[in-house]
Structure 1
Amino acid sequence: MSTHWDHSYDVVSVGSGGGGLVAALAARDAGGTALVLEKRDLLGGSTAMSGGVVWIPNNPLMQDEGVPDSDEAGMQYFEATVGDVGPASTVERRRAFITEGAAMTRFLTGLGVRLVRCPGYSDYYSDQPGGSAEGRSMEPPPYDGKQLGPWLAKVQPGMAAGIGLVVKTNELRDVQYFNRSLRSFLIAARVQARTTIAKVTGRRLLTNGTALVAQMVKAAADRDVELWTGAAFTEFVVEDGRVTGVEVVKDGARLLIEARRGVVVAAGGFAHNKALRERYSGDQKVTGEWSFANPGDTGDAIEAALRLGAATDLLDEAWWLPGPSPLLGVNTLNAARNRPGAIIVDASGSRFVNESNSYVEVGKAMFARDKTARAVPAWVVFDEGYRRRYAHRRSLNVGKIPAEWLAKGLVKKADTLEDLAGICGIDAAGLTAQVKRWNSYAEKGEDPDYGRGRSAYNDCLGDPGYRINPSVGPLTEGPYYAFELFPADVGTCGGLVGDEHGRVLREDGAPIPGLYATGNGTATVTGRHYLGAGASIAYSMVYGYISARHAMASGS
């Protein structure tokens, strides 16, 4: 008995972030019809909320500007950093990501989606074989949202909305140091001028992930891709062992939607599904209480695919983003670990990680350390010199720690390290010994214990105005300060296992016909590491592109 379909398309994308939008655009370009489903009222998902950066080795922008790189260097970098993590990151999947990533970039720019390089935004493991100190990341330039017409109101606001500046993600590295170097001051001035001019002229300039999504929404709308909001996926429709469509609920009605060529799941992970996180978190135990992920990250499509026998992997992993208490509101304290005059310690007062490394790396180190000494939460400790050098809120008030932070105990303060340790519940002898050791090397810009300040990535996020080493400096001047550091995340990054074509695989390695997946709901090609700024967004987009093209080429 055949299914009675309410609507029929060639490709259906479940999720409206970068992966879902690129899949729909690729299907349309191949001559098919496409539908994008979004259960929330706003389009864009995690991509819109992100910095909108896209990391692809040897990408066309690098090639056009003569920046040295190659596919083989990218593969070497994968091998050196990711290693063997099983089927999520096979050689075939890595190579497809790199080669098709370049093709996807050309495809999007051909549709009018503008991207610019992020010069100097180094790979996160830039000192590893194949790593790039210059960086492989791209991002959208400011985009006038008025070009979207009525669709503008349907796009998820991004991180710039909370900052109040028309600022590109790569510019944020300098804006925070506007008072520390001439270069940073000039970049900050440019951002402020851009913001002011946009307000005066009435332009709705979008940046970061919002600008990336807005451009793809515009391209989709112009090409008759259907975009549905408030359409919640509930189940896959299977006929004769093949996924042929999806069941959704929209406006209270149950609808069956045919996907003649394939369904591409790009619905994010399960960051806000407490039951799944408790079940799968392993040694990195969280329930989502510190997650900043898209509110739609509830794992509905993952659970539905599991009912079809889909294989999964890396379910205990997430894109960790350690940060202070959200009660602080908008602040710059999450950048403290990259700056001289600050260290991260556990309850014994000891350091346990290169604080300036990838945020994912630091988050994982917190969980690992917590097995032997309490490090969830950990503590960030800094001195008076640090306090004077930086703005602690996103403002021009350099050196001012809000009185309410101190009054509420969100930031602790004491005249001596011993007293600070007592307030925080840190071992006093351990903390004073650690700071003494740290200072003995930091005065020379060195960190023999964890190598902080040795890589281009450590440098690119450090203080450009600090002598000797941008990310390494001693804590020598009281009073001293501390705040708790929690292992927050911006989404999970484990889930369905796919092949180099994006097809979802069963436990026996066979593909589930008609079902594809990408993004944070899958076991990512970058494994347990974040390789560079925009690696997760790039993976979602590239495998959305790969999936749709394979579906359209395979026939119904």
Structure 2
Amino acid sequence: MTEWDHRTDFLVIGSGAGAVGALRANALGKSALVVEKTDLWGGSTAMSGGVIWMPNNPLMQREGVSDSHDSALDYLDSLVGDVGPASSPERREAYLTEGNEMIYFLESEGVQFIRCPKMSDYYAGIRGYRSGSLAGRSVEPKVFNRKKLGKWSKRIRPGFSPVLNIYTGEGSALQTPKSSGGPSTVLRVAFRTAWGVASGKKYVTNGEALMTRILHALLRRNVPVWLNSPVVELIVEDNRVIGAVVERDGVRLRVQARDGVLIASGGFSRNLAMREKYAGHLGPMSDEWTSANPGDTGEVIEMATGLGAATAMVDEAWWMPTWMDGGKPAMAMTVGAKPHAITVDANGHRFYDESISYQEAGQRIYAHHQSTGAAIPAWLIIDSTHRQKYTFGMMLPGIGHQKWIDAGDWKTADTLEGLAEACGIDADGLTKTVERFNGFAHTGIDEDFHRGEGGWQQFYGDPDHGPNKCLGAVETGPFYAIPIYPGDIGTSGGLMTDEHGRVLRADATPIAGLFATGNCTASVFGRGYPGAGATIGASAVFAYTAANFVGKSVSGKALDHG
């Protein structure tokens, strides 16, 4: 008989969106414990936009935005297709049905949301895909006063915008501050931020707001949270996971989990050995290009596979075109959707639609590199019109880029030929590519890759630019080139799970007592990315379904997980 240092019904490993499982389990009458390996709460979710993609969600219904369950299923069918049991009909159904129940539940726990208006599904309006929503199916958390957390307020992983209180849905207008909607959005964000400071509050938005709201709800329910507490072993008895060894502040404790252990510990973006093992066949791998949180190292995935867990799509990630800013990864998520920009390989050739979803951009970079050896790095080329009109990262138009040039992060030249020489790009290939692209910019039709045809692409284009919001000639020097790498915001393949979040063996039988969700699992969306917040949505939803499953049992008398 195992001796225990701590007992709970439901143990959740990781403090990202999967912590929804602990909140739900407690609401169903279970005791719960969240353990986080690092010294900060929030995981990669806190560093993100904090958005949840949820078709036909309650906020859409309240605002009269048309959508349906069947339309969402049709969209997923056209985008994901048949990728096996990771995206089974049962898992898709659970995502859409229990996911909407989860939104209502979170609202009842004080996690308030707003819609991301006009933030289209990533493939809405794109040829070959059906039933995407141009109105958008994403929600994000309302601004939150972090001071409500008391002593916990200083133990939150910082978000991507630690100074300005920006909603994700405002990002497009902030990137085009000189165009329609830009000035008013800038003023709104400035007022919101200034009001928080003046009123003595510590407002946060995005992923930081989502995770502080969830933590606030957990603390109100007196659910314990342990930081600095990595899991070092899963405890198995009679072929069932019954707990884990947790090293809390350097002391190893045996924690009983009477109804189950939920792995919500993220993927393995920061583990180069695992990346090379599972995805090295794609091309060059690096743990320096990722924007995932520092704890994204994958050891709990390997604990589960050691118990016989099956895996799928372990070579996949939530790819993100990335450039290096002083040796640190910086996302180039939507800069390619703006006019006056193209991405080329070392031969000077375009090879994909620069405005497509960031995950597909990464897939295209790797695929093209496999066939040409010339796409890592790829080169983002912008002209002076782009630099004068649009933000780049958090840098305002027309200023700040000299520091990147001085550091060698950017290349610049007065002519395209000079830029090609500075970058090692074939000059003849680049000039011919730009000439052809500029012709597309004048007609508004990208005959090669159809850039700017979809709703999401247009959302991140320039609303005042025509005839295509995403196409503008690259013609005004000086020109700038930024090396682009296939970075990511987390891996997206891993443990196989069912609609209840139960971890499965290769024969599709569940490992009793073991659940998983989020980036440590094979995605319900296969190798696709349906819309903003799909990553966080899946992590939260399948934590919720797992909690619902264990909620059907009497503590200490778990259901037959087989």
5+ residue gaps, structure 2: none
Listed as ranges, the matches of 1:530-541 within 5 Å are 530-541=529-540
The aligned residue for residue 214 of structure 2 is 216
For 1:442 and 1:269, the matched residues in 2 are separated by: 40
Listed as ranges, the matches of 1:44-63 within 5 Å are 44-63=42-61
Further displaced range: 64-73 or 276-285: 276-285
The aligned residue for residue 375 of structure 2 is 375
Listed as ranges, the matches of 1:445-464 within 5 Å are 445-464=444-463
Shift of 1:258: 0.7
The aligned residue for residue 387 of structure 2 is 387
For 2:154 and 2:402, the matched residues in 1 are separated by: 37
For 2:110 and 2:364, the matched residues in 1 are separated by: 41
- The structure 1 residue matched to 2:247, chosen from 246, 249, 256, is 249
Change (3 A) 1:184 1:359: same
Q: Is the 8 A contact 2:291 2:330 kept in 1?
A: no
- Kindly provide the CA deviation profile for residues 240-280 of structure 1, in whole angstroms up to 9, marking residues without a partner as x: 00111111111221111111111111000011111111100
5+ residue gaps, structure 1: none
The aligned residue for residue 529 of structure 1 is 528
Shift of 1:393: 5.7
The aligned residue for residue 327 of structure 1 is 326
For 1:387 and 1:474, the matched residues in 2 are separated by: 13
Change (3 A) 1:13 1:63: same
Q: Is the 8 A contact 2:347 2:425 kept in 1?
A: yes
For 1:331 and 1:245, the matched residues in 2 are separated by: 38
* 1:322 partner SS: strand
- Kindly provide the CA deviation profile for residues 316-343 of structure 1, in whole angstroms up to 9, marking residues without a partner as x: 0111111221317798865421110000
Shift of 1:409: 2.9
The aligned residue for residue 231 of structure 1 is 229
RMSD: 1.5
- Kindly provide the CA deviation profile for residues 17-74 of structure 1, in whole angstroms up to 9, marking residues without a partner as x: 111x210011111111000010111111111111100001111111111111111111
Letter in 1 for 2:542: Y
User: 1:28 and 2:26 equivalent?
Assistant: yes
For 1:479 and 1:236, the matched residues in 2 are separated by: 58
Shift of 1:487: 1.0
User: 1:186 and 2:184 equivalent?
Assistant: yes
The aligned residue for residue 40 of structure 1 is 38
Listed as ranges, the matches of 1:81-100 within 5 Å are 81-100=79-98
* 1:325 partner SS: strand
Letter in 1 for 2:73: M
Change (3 A) 1:68 1:284: farther
* 2:323 partner SS: coil
For 2:536 and 2:155, the matched residues in 1 are separated by: 20
For 1:380 and 1:458, the matched residues in 2 are separated by: 17
Letter in 2 for 1:13: V
Shift of 1:184: 1.9
Shift of 1:144: 0.8
Q: Is the 8 A contact 1:332 1:392 kept in 2?
A: no
Change (3 A) 1:407 1:150: closer
Listed as ranges, the matches of 1:254-273 within 5 Å are 254-273=252-271
The aligned residue for residue 487 of structure 2 is 488
* 1:490 partner SS: strand
The aligned residue for residue 16 of structure 2 is 17
The aligned residue for residue 135 of structure 1 is 136
Listed as ranges, the matches of 1:154-553 within 5 Å are 154-161=155-162, 164-181=163-180, 183-281=181-279, 282-327=281-326, 335-373=334-372, 374-392=374-392, 394-396=394-396, 398-553=397-552
Letter in 2 for 1:237: I
Letter in 2 for 1:146: K
For 1:307 and 1:483, the matched residues in 2 are separated by: 42
Shift of 1:111: 1.0
Task: Kindly tell me the number of residue pairs found equivalent between the two proteins.
Answer: 550
Shift of 1:467: 2.5
The aligned residue for residue 149 of structure 1 is 150
Shift of 1:395: 4.7
* 2:326 partner SS: helix
For 2:88 and 2:331, the matched residues in 1 are separated by: 38
Further displaced range: 302-311 or 433-442: 433-442
Letter in 1 for 2:144: Y
Shift of 1:173: 1.6
The aligned residue for residue 68 of structure 2 is 70
For 1:412 and 1:402, the matched residues in 2 are separated by: 10
- Kindly provide the CA deviation profile for residues 489-548 of structure 1, in whole angstroms up to 9, marking residues without a partner as x: 111111100011110000111000010000000001011111111100000000000011
Letter in 2 for 1:139: E
Q: Is the 8 A contact 2:176 2:389 kept in 1?
A: no
